Amino acid sequence: MELAEAKLKFIEAWGKLGSEWGINRTMAQVHALLLVSPEALTTEEVMAELSISRGNANMTLRDLIDWGLVEKQHKTGERKEFFFAEKDTWVIARKVAEERKKRELDPVLKILGQLTEIEGDEKDPAFKTFKTSVTDINKLAKNVNKTLDTMLKAEESWFFGSIFKIFK
């Protein structure tokens, strides 16, 4: 397989994977393109490589910057903006986990915390079932949150060494 074909396959696969993770397919594809590009690219280059509109490219690049996955660079003597993706996969994984935690897990934890405070008749089967279910889900979500917090603070070698010890 030639490099150009491999690059297209990677961009398509990363886009599909991103959409499975709840990330916009185009956002994942732009990220993939920047991941495998040795040099920072302009908006126009991203548009041309992926056949996307300027509006879509601008919005997607802005989102990737907000996620901390891409940074804007300026080159001396150039008026255009250039975009470069973080290449360290551990840094990428941590940034994605941090952003997803902030957008998805934190709001759920807040709601579950409120729901565990529900008052009612402990003898009522409907109340008892609801309270038990919400409390158990809240406990699980808090454990997931602790694991993510550990991952976000950890160095790659320590984190994976600890995980592999668990599964031995």
Residues 112 and 127 in one domain: yes
Q: What total number of domains does the chain contain?
A: 2
What is the sign, positive or negative, of the torsion defined by CA atoms of 14, 15, 21, 24?
Answer: positive
Residues 93 and 159 in one domain: yes
Q: Mind listing the pLDDT tens digit for each residue in 29-84?
A: 999 999 999 999 999 999 999 999 999 999 999 999 999 999 999 888 888 999 99
Q: Mind listing the pLDDT tens digit for each residue in 139-149?
A: 999 998 888 88
Q: Which residue has the higher pLDDT, 25 or 162?
A: 25
Residues 9 and 50 in one domain: yes
- Kindly state the average pLDDT of the residues 111-116: 91
Is the distance from CB of 31 to CB of 83 less than 8 angstroms? no
pTM beyond 0.85: the answer is no
φ, ψ for residue 72, nearest 5 deg: -90, 135
Q: Which of 4, 5, 77, 62 is nearest to 31 (CA)?
A: 62
- The token pair that represents 94 in the structure block: 């941590």
- Kindly state the average pLDDT of the residues 114-128: 90
- The token pair that represents 162 in the structure block: 């600890």
Of 85, 119, 153, which residue constitutes the final position of a domain? 85
